[in-house]
């Protein structure tokens, strides 16, 4: 009897200790994961060694789900959302986890939680190539590792995870090709690989993943054709935006609700089959090369609400009998070659419907339409191998000519330097040795400003002196709301004069040894520079010290350019702020004229200018002007205090050499521009220059 009793006690003890041991192992693994993730604040709830994560209250950033003693769900949302401009596969301080982090060890620890069905690890700074051993999580159904720093190939062994139905790897740095083993997933319903560095084409095998409901590959460098997706009968959302796809549009599955294919190079006509997608609600085909007339039935789909066909090459006229669905709320047909009358259901923003149709040849709203002949021009050149060959031949010839020109320029560099340095630089500095440090010729109006620019001054405001009180009143004593920014050349403010004129004020802090007489001479000279493509200097204000013998600050008052900088357009994420190629070309021509004037329109030329995208400003009509020009005229003496003896002679020789090289480069650029214009004349319908 005693023997039976002892066996019963031992069995009971083992049964009691077993779950405790299993529980302890589970907590230890989670604590190890916390350590490997370098103790993110989201896991502070696990700070106590005795705390059980299974009983932690779930939040938006942390959730642990358990069934018995098994962990089935692990969700951690971090706050490492900053993306560096360049990521080369190594740790980035304060952005990724540290150099000591080893992804292989982390996945090994994670794989020991074999009962996991959901793993969501987002924005935690995890970096490195994703190891194959992730497939050890054989029960996994949902995998979300988005917004981290994973790179390399997507592990092929993911394909053996038969229960996996949701894969989200958005916002990483995977740089291989789109996996061609996706058809091996029998249960895959959601695949999101957006904003990576995937290349190559979309494999045809993707059409065999028949359970897919969501497929998102936007923001990569995927090229080639879009495969036939007609077999994906359950597909509802397709997102291939912002890639390099250049094939024709395939037929779409009938269940699709959202189609996003903008910012590619898709060509051909929109298939008539798109007019039979009765479940379709949102379609965006903008910024492609689609031709022909859009299907009439596309506008009348029973559930359609958003239709964007902007910036294509659509042509022809829309049928007068075209009808619009009652659910249609937004239509964008702008920047195409459509002609004729605008159908009544698209004419006017009726019933809260927004319709955009500028940049076509419609008969309505002629102020925002092209002339009829613009839309009648042929644009089938893209399909012509003869024209493509011609473009390649011309580019090769231009490249060869440029190389030859550079060789000649280098060979003549020494003689050019000697001649120009003697005639244009040393001679002037020998003759002119005034107290201001400026050439007397530089202060003579007739020598400084060409006749063409003199005539332009009649329509531009003259340069005048401003008082400091005027500027304080215009900026409300330089309050924070008037501050526009600060750069290497002083702070910039926005102001409004008494007459309502908007101005931009740049404040320069100058060297104390800068005399007022010297400064006024230089400001007067700068004020004489007038050109349609230079931001007009309206005047200045000198803030001197108490004895008025030297300068404390100087304020330069410019005309205000409401369009902002060119940089804000080039790097804008909003499509509405994207510059068309015709506008970009106009900006380049305008700035080239401004630089040419600064180099050749005054004697000697102003060569040291701040030519960058943040110094190119646009007005409300997108006309470009160069700002921050000629500041070397003012700051020249500051630098002169710092450059003495041999340094002076080096700067002089360097200036002569720069001027020599500029003349050679100017000729080269002129030749290139003329050649390109000839090319455009030969093929006038190049899509990029429309």
Rounded mean pLDDT of 365-371?
87
Q: Report the pLDDT value the prediction gives residue 613, as an integer from 0 to 100.
A: 81
E strands, 560-602, are 564-565
Look up residue 464 and give its two tokens: 């005048």
Q: Looking at the predicted structure, is the pLDDT value of residue 5 above 70?
A: no
How far, in Å, CA of 519 to CA of 514, rounded? Answer: 7
Determine the distance from the C-alpha atom of residue 390 to the mean position of all C-alpha atoms in its chain, rounded to a whole number: 32
How far, in Å, CA of 615 to CA of 567, rounded? Answer: 9
**300-341 confidence digits (pLDDT tens):** 999 999 999 999 999 999 988 889 998 999 999 999 999 998
**83-113 confidence digits (pLDDT tens):** 888 888 889 998 999 999 999 999 999 999 9
pLDDT confidence band for 498 (50 / 70 / 90): confident
Identify the three-state secondary structure at position 491: strand
Q: Report the pLDDT value the prediction gives residue 439, as an integer from 0 to 100.
A: 40
- CA-based nearest residue to 338, from 306, 380, 297, 310: 310
Q: Looking at the predicted structure, is the pLDDT value of residue 37 above 90?
A: yes
What are the φ and ψ backbone dihedral angles of 255, each rounded to 5 degrees? -90, 0
Q: Report the pLDDT value the prediction gives residue 19, as an integer from 0 to 100.
A: 44
Least confident of 202-216, 545-559, 647-661: 647-661
- Structure-token match 């015709």, residue found: 582
Least confident of 119-128, 287-296, 340-349, 367-376: 340-349
Rounded mean pLDDT of 255-273?
95
| Pairing status of strand 337-340 against strand 361-362 | parallel
Q: Report the pLDDT value the prediction gives residue 455, as an integer from 0 to 100.
A: 38
| Pairing status of strand 616-618 against strand 564-565 | antiparallel
**579-609 confidence digits (pLDDT tens):** 777 788 888 888 888 888 888 777 667 765 6
Residue 457's CB is within 10 A of a number of other CB atoms, namely 16
150 vs 610 pLDDT, higher one: 150
Q: Report the pLDDT value the prediction gives residue 79, as an integer from 0 to 100.
A: 92
Q: Report the pLDDT value the prediction gives residue 678, as an integer from 0 to 100.
A: 52
Q: Report the pLDDT value the prediction gives residue 248, as an integer from 0 to 100.
A: 93
How far, in Å, CA of 191 to CA of 213, rounded? Answer: 9
Q: Report the pLDDT value the prediction gives residue 604, as an integer from 0 to 100.
A: 66
* CA distances, 643 to each of 146, 514, 651 (Å): 54, 15, 9
- CA-based nearest residue to 431, from 639, 630, 602, 604: 604
- CA-based nearest residue to 474, from 500, 448, 450, 454: 500
Percent of the chain at pLDDT exceeding 90 = 34
Alpha helices in 365-420, H assignment, sequence order: 372-376, 385-411, 413-420
């Amino acid at each position: 009897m005693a023997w039976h009793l002892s066996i019963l006690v031992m069995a009971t003890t083992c049964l009691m200790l077993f779950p405790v041991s299993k529980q302890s192992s589970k907590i230890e693994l989670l604590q190890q994961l916390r350590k490997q993730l370098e103790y993110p604040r989201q896991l502070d709830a696990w700070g106590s060694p005795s705390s059980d994560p299974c009983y932690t209250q779930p939040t938006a950033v942390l959730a642990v789900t358990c069934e018995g003693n098994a962990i089935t769900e692990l969700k951690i949302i971090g706050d490492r959302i900053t993306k560096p401009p360049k990521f080369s596969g190594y740790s980035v301080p304060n952005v990724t986890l540290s150099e000591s982090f080893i992804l292989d060890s982390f996945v090994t620890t994670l794989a020991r939680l074999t009962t996991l069905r959901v793993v969501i690890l987002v924005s935690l700074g995890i970096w490195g190539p994703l190891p194959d051993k992730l497939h050890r999580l054989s029960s996994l159904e949902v995998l979300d590792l988005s917004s981290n720093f994973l790179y390399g190939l997507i592990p092929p062994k993911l394909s053996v995870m038969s229960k996996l139905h949701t894969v989200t790897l958005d916002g990483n740095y995977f740089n291989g090709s789109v996996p061609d083993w996706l058809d091996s997933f029998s249960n895959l319903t959601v695949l999101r690989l957006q904003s990576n560095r995937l290349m190559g084409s979309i494999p045809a095998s993707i059409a065999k993943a028949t359970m897919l409901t969501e497929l998102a590959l936007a923001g990569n460098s995927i090229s080639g054709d879009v495969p036939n997706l007609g077999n994906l009968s359950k597909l509802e959302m397709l997102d291939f935006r912002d890639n390099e796809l250049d094939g024709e549009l395939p037929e779409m599955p009938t269940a699709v609700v959202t189609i996003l294919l903008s910012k590619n190079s898709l060509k051909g006509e929109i298939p008539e089959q798109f007019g039979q997608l009765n479940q379709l609600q949102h379609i965006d085909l903008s910024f492609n090369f689609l031709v022909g007339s859009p299907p009439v039935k596309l506008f009348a789909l029973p559930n359609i609400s958003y239709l964007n066909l902007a910036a294509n090459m659509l042509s022809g006229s829309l049928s007068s009998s075209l009808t619009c669905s009652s659910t249609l709320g937004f239509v964008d047909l702008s920047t195409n070659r459509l002609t004729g009358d605008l159908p009544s259901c698209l004419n006017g923003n009726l019933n809260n419907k927004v319709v955009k149709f500028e940049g076509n040849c419609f008969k309505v709203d002629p102020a925002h339409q092209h002339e009829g002949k613009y839309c009648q021009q042929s644009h089938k050149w893209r399909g012509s191998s003869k024209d493509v060959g011609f473009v390649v031949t011309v580019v090769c010839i231009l490249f060869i000519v440029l190389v030859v020109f550079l060789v000649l320029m280098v060979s003549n560099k020494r003689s050019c330097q000697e001649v120009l340095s003697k005639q244009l630089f040393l001679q002037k500095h020998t003759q002119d040795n005034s107290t201001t440090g400026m050439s007397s010729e530089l202060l003579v109006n007739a020598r400084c400003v060409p006749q063409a620019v003199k005539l332009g001054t009649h329509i531009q405001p003259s340069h005048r002196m401003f008082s400091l009180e005027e500027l304080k009143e215009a900026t409300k004593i330089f309050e924070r709301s008037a501050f526009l920014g600060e750069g290497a050349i002083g702070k910039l403010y926005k102001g409004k004069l008494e007459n309502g004129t908007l101005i931009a004020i740049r404040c320069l802090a100058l060297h104390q040894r800068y005399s007022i007489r010297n400064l006024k001479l230089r400001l007067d000279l700068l004020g004489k520079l007038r050109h349609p493509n230079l931001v007009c200097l309206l005047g200045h204000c000198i803030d001197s010290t108490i004895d008025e013998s030297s300068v404390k600050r100087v304020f330069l008052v410019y005309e205000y350019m409401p369009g902002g900088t060119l940089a804000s357009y080039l790097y804008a994420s909003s499509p509405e702020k994207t510059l068309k190629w015709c506008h970009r070309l106009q900006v380049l021509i305008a700035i080239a004229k401004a630089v040419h004037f600064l180099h050749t329109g005054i004697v000697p030329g102003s060569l040291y200018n701040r030519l960058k995208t943040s110094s190119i400003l646009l007005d409300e009509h997108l006309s470009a002007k160069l700002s921050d020009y000629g500041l070397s005229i003012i700051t020249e003496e500051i630098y002169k205090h710092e450059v003495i003896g041999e340094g002076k002679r080096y700067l002089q020789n360097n200036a002569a050499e720069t001027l020599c090289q500029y003349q050679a480069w100017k000729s080269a650029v002129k030749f290139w521009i003329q050649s390109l214009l000839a090319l455009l004349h030969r093929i006038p319908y190049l899509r990029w220059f429309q």
